[in-house]
Amino acid sequence: MKILDVLRKEAVVLDLKSKEKKGVIEELVMPLAQVSGVAPEELVRVLMERERLGSTGIGGGIGIPHGKLKDIDSLIVGFGLSRQGVDFESIDGRPTHIFFLLVTPENSIDIHLKLLSQISRILKNDLLKERLRNAKSQDEVLDIIREEDVGL
């Protein structure tokens, strides 16, 4: 599986406006709720429950909010970009600019972990992160990810 197998163009948000964690998550889930048919409040609830266990701000300007939901059949993946950066309670204390959001069916632990690993792996590339931060269109974001997205 590749990230682009589950990340749809309409789930790419290029200019997140919120300056705080819950607001960013609310912005990220809006297109995903429309695509998946899951209520945005339900997605926000699951993601914020996971955040209470510990921040998914992994440092280096990256946040990967994720969670599991019982009533879905397939992965829900989104991407967001905050030009100004957000205090996402990252482990390095620095602002977070690049977000991948991931919600998986409750019983698909293997896919959940593999996709988290795949996203983390490609985001170790500093040049890729810089290119994502400067992307001007949804298509450009997808093209940049495609270059590194070798699959699981």
**Stretch 58-62: mean pLDDT, rounded?**
94
Domain boundaries, the chain: 3-145
The per-residue pLDDT for 151 is 57
Q: 3-state DSSP: the chain helix, strand, coil percent, rounded to 5?
A: 45, 25, 30
- Give the closest residue to 56 by CA, choosing from 105, 100, 113: 100
**Stretch 137-147: mean pLDDT, rounded?**
95
Task: Report phi then psi at 150, rounded to 5.
Answer: -85, -10
pTM of the full structure: 0.93
User: Is residue 116 pLDDT above 90, yes or no?
Assistant: no
Q: Are strands 66-69 and 62-63 parallel, antiparallel or unpaired?
A: unpaired
Q: What is the mean pLDDT of the chain?
A: 92
**Stretch 14-19: mean pLDDT, rounded?**
95
User: Is residue 20 pLDDT above 80, yes or no?
Assistant: yes
The per-residue pLDDT for 51 is 95
The per-residue pLDDT for 152 is 47
Superfamily name and number for 3-145: Mannitol-specific EII; Chain A (3.40.930.10)
- Tens digit of each residue's pLDDT (9 = 90 or more) over 120-131: 889 999 999 999
